[in-house]
Structure 1
Amino acid sequence: MRSEGYGRRHAPDPQRPALGRRGRHLHRPIGVVMADIEVSMNDLSRGMQHDRDALIRAATLVIDSGYAIHGAQHAAFERELADYLEVSDAVGVASGTDALELAIKAVMPDGRDVVVTAGNAGAYTSTATVRAGYTPRYADVDPDSLCLTAATVAPVLDARVGVVVVTHLYGRMTDLSELRSLCDASGTALIEDCAQAIGAGTPGRRAGSVGHAGTLSFYPTKNLGAIGDGGAVVTTSPEIAARLRQLRQYGWGSKYNATISGGVNSRLDEMQAAFLRVRLPQVDGLNARRREIIARYAAAAANVDPDVMSVLTALDDGHTGHLAAARSTDREAVRARLRAHGVASDVHFPIPDWEQPAFAEYAPSTPLPETVRACSQVFSLPLFPELREDEIAAVCDAIRSLA
């Protein structure tokens, strides 16, 4: 099986001397590619070529139908997605960020105006919160999962908080049992950001089905990627689903009659829905392939000083393996050493939300050390299901060279 991949990326960062075990400098020339292979972070073309015939058939169905928006393909995809995630409703929208914004609007209790989120997940929830007209507030993350937990959220809850958004970061479905109980006790809605985690979890407890709503992105780099943009909100509440369907189309109660405020124009188009129907049945197999690749990277790093580099594991169905995340106390030195072996890397995500100028006014009043530490240490290795065996071996060799 094949799926989507990342667009081709090139790392322009200045190169620095790489560090070996216990911080010793490695003396190979940094500016020279030592391998006969270059491994990019991702390559969308491979998944597109694998699915090419099916995608063309899907496009033909849409063109022949005469429907461009909210036709039979869209309706079928919403049903199939809801069935796959074991929820009652899936509501297609134009992007993952729109999904977050509309979900926040749909579940925010009256009289409240604050959304609690993590600051190490790319600022997508911060963006959606501000767009929705609310205030982001940051809680620290667990040092192991790098996600919000009940213990990290409890200190920042008060009567203003109406929504908590927890991101299943890098594809790992974090344990939500205590957090859902905490939210229920405080009258706060829980949203799961599943943009990186479609398919995580076990039957009866899939990512997106535990909170009051779950949001998805179908950006081409995701585990379920469109050939363009798209998103969805899923929920087990018919009332929330009905509100979402109004909000995604101007707040209309009936055509040209906006009956609720906050409506937008956010549609998952018919062509993308058709493409996503092709790829949805592949998700579980492709997630397994991602986990397999991460396991090989982790094995390669077994003898590397963990301060130099460690690979975050993705051991079971609770993890989709969206990103092959690693940590280093000298991240840029290690990335330079990997580049010298022809291996690309990227950083997801380098700047805490509140340190970005757009969100500086929402900076927390108390330190969030685990968030700051994660943003300074975490980076990503090449990962997509179509990686060739020689490319995986090259990444493993580069990792072992750090020992």
Structure 2
Amino acid sequence: MTQYVWGYLPEYEKERDDILDAVDTVFRSGKLVLGPSVEAFEREFAAYHGVSHCVGVDNGTNAIMLGLRALGVGAGDEVITVSNTAAPTVLAIDAIGATPVFVDIRPDTYLMDVEQVAGAITERTRCLLPVHLYGQCVDMAPLEELAAKHGLPILEDCAQAHGARHHGRIAGSMGRAAAFSFYPTKVLGAYGDGGATVTSSPEIDANLRRLRYYGMEDVYYVVSTPGYNSRLDEVQAEILRRKLTRLDEYVAKRQSVAARYADAFAGTDLRTPVTAPGNEHVYYVYVVRHPARDRIIEALREHDISLNISYPWPVHRQSGFAHLGYREGSLPVTEAAAGEIFSLPMYASLSDADQERVIDVLHGVLARL
């Protein structure tokens, strides 16, 4: 039972007719690149988030990268974010020649510790990049206040927070722009790669559209600003359109699965997720914590239950980012969490029977520790 491999298969069986119809609709349209499905999805995804514009791109990494460039961030600039994230968040910063600057995380939610951001701002800081991790939002009000004070834009990383809300505001609507991934395991997942950047700024929207299409604007084959080939595929856009109508249903199912886990492990020494005040958690992953993490994972593997760790190696301690100069102990809360956190199977199509089996086996393992 590997959530990252098998999670979408029950969903596909249930939605197969609609998914195949989406594919057939595109193939019969004769419009395979930046056609009506992309246009419609962009319009509908923007409306869902209460923003004016959405630009579909080829993946979530480029959604961040193009978002940064559209905000004017470039070589030599600094972007404040966290190390407890998927590497693509930081790779997008590195790709434009900017420098990621890390702050530590909160020990309860594993989200950006906003209180540390002010101390990380320098004259080179050009953007704040909060990561709405695991399915819930960073504490945005003090971050927005800090951004306004220093004249800095906020780019939200919403790859793991489709539909999440913070004091009633939906993830993706609180920054100058926001980036999304539609990787198949996401709360709103495509059947391949995909991403989008949203904004309510006409200027940023225009920048994004230019950047995703080679840097071309009004005249084809004429590049006004060097850009990329970073377009959302028509097939994925049409599939995402269909699935967007079911996003709230997916969220409700994930919340139901999370509630069962919370009830099942109440009173044990397994630390279950903490939802920050004002947050509506959508549980992209269900991250728990235990000092005997590795023994637990190995014991469950013997029962054919595979668990993921998000994330076992903080970005700042990975060899590919050694040039940033962070040493062991630089981000103590992040590093401590990385040694103990892991994720229980979590997806909207997880059956009650499969979840009960996970719960029963894990209870037995915890009792033997």
Which residue of the partner structure matches residue 39 of structure 1?
Answer: none
Q: CA deviation at 1:368?
A: 1.1
Which deviations, in whole Å up to 9, do the C-alpha atoms of 1:125-159 show, x marking residues without a partner?
Answer: 11111111211111111112211143021111111
Alignment of 1:370-385 (within 5 A): 370-385=333-348
Query: Where does the alignment leave 5 or more consecutive residues of structure 1 unmatched?
Result: 9-41
CA distance in 2, matches of 1:213, 1:295: 32
Shift in Å, 1:342: 3.9
In the TM superposition, residue 285 of structure 1 has moved relative to its aligned partner by 1.2
Distance 1:266 1:111 in 2: 20
Greater Cα offset, 109-118 or 204-213: 109-118
Residue matched to 1:259: 224
- Contact 1:311/1:326 (CA < 8 Å) preserved in 2? yes
Aligned letter for 2:11? G
For residues 370-395 of structure 1, the C-alpha deviation after alignment (integer angstroms, 9 at most, x for no partner) is 11112111111111111111111111
Shift, 1:202, TM fit: 6.2
Contact 1:294 1:314 in 2 (8 A): no
Deviations 1:191-221 (A, max 9, x none): 1110110101169611010011111001101
Conserved in 2, the CA contact under 8 Å of 1:102 and 1:132?
A: no
Q: Equivalent residue of 1:326, what SS?
A: strand
Shift of the 109–231 alpha-carbon distance from structure 1 to 2, 3 Å rule, reads closer
Within a 5 Å distance, the mapping from 1:46-61 to structure 2 comes to: 46-61=10-25
Aligned residues: 362
What are the residue-to-residue correspondences of 1:4-403 with 2, within 5 Å? Answer: 6-8=3-5, 42-108=6-72, 113-201=77-165, 205-254=169-218, 255-261=220-226, 263-305=227-269, 309-313=270-274, 318-364=280-326, 367-401=330-364, 402-403=366-367
Q: How far apart, in 2, do the equivalents of 1:318 and 1:371 lie?
A: 23
TM-score normalised by the chain length of structure 2: 0.93
In the aligned structure 2, how far is the partner of 1:279 from the partner of 1:159? 43
Whichever residue aligns with residue 301 of structure 1, its letter is F
Provide closer, same or farther for how the CA distance between residues 204 and 299 of structure 1 changes in structure 2, counting only shifts above 3 A: closer
CA contact (8 A) 1:149 1:176 kept: no
What SS does the aligned partner of 2:246 have?
Answer: helix
Structure 1 residue 228 displacement after superposition: 0.7
Distance 1:338-1:298 versus aligned 2 partners, 3 A rule: farther
What is the rounded CA distance, in whole Å, between the counterparts of 1:369 and 1:251 in structure 2? 42
Shift of 1:343: 2.6
**Which protein has greater RCO, CA pairs closer than 8 Å, 6+ apart?**
1
Cα gap change, 1:149 to 1:108, in 2 (>3 Å)? farther
Distance in 2 between residues matched to 1:392 and 1:358, nearest whole Å: 37
Structure 2 vs 1, CA of residues 295 and 313 (structure 1 numbering), >3 Å: closer, same or farther?
farther
**Secondary structure of 1:379's match?**
strand
- CA 1:174–1:202 in 2, change beyond 3 Å: closer, same or farther? closer
Asked whether the equivalents of residues 120 and 352 of structure 1 are also in contact (C-alpha less than 8 Å), the reply is: yes
Stretches of structure 2 that go unaligned for 5 or more consecutive residues are none
- Distance in 2, Cα, partners of 1:170 & 1:221: 12
Q: Deviations over 1:152-205 (max 9, x none)?
A: 211111110111111111011122011011112112211111011010116961
Q: Could you tell me how far 1:279 is from its partner in structure 2?
A: 0.4
For residue 341 of structure 1, report the CA deviation from its aligned partner: 4.1
Structure 1: distance between partners of 2:41 and 2:217? 23
**Matched position secondary structure for 1:189:** coil
- State the 1:269 CA deviation: 0.9
- Give me the whole-angstrom Cα distance separating, in 2, the residues matched to 1:363 and 1:329: 28
Deviation track 1:242-275 (CA, whole Å, cap 9, x = no partner) reads 11111111111322222124x1110001111011
The residue type equivalent to 2:222 in the other structure is N
Query: Kindly, what percent of the aligned residue pairs are identical?
Result: 38
Equivalent position of 1:18 in the other structure:
none
Instruction: Give 1:108 shift.
Output: 3.2
Cα distance in 1, alignment partners of residues 258 and 152 from structure 2: 36
- Contact residue 73 and residue 98 of structure 2 kept, 8 A: no
Cα distance in structure 1, aligned partners of 2:83 and 2:166: 27
CA distance, structure 1, for counterparts of residue 246 and residue 121 of structure 2: 39
- Name the SS for the 2:37 alignment partner: helix
SS of the equivalent of 1:167 reads: coil
Cα deviation for residue 398 of structure 1 reads 2.3
What SS does the corresponding residue of 2:196 show, helix, strand or coil?
A: strand
Per mean C-alpha deviation after superposition, the further-off stretch among 222-231 and 135-144 is 135-144
Q: Which secondary structure state, in structure 2, belongs to the residue aligned with residue 126 of structure 1?
A: helix
User: Offset of 1:105 from its aligned partner?
Assistant: 0.8
Contact 2:287/2:341 (CA < 8 Å) preserved in 1? yes
- 2:225 maps to a residue whose letter is I
| Aligned mates of 2:166, 2:90 — CA distance in 1 | 29
**Distance in 2 separating the partners of 1:65 and 1:190:** 38
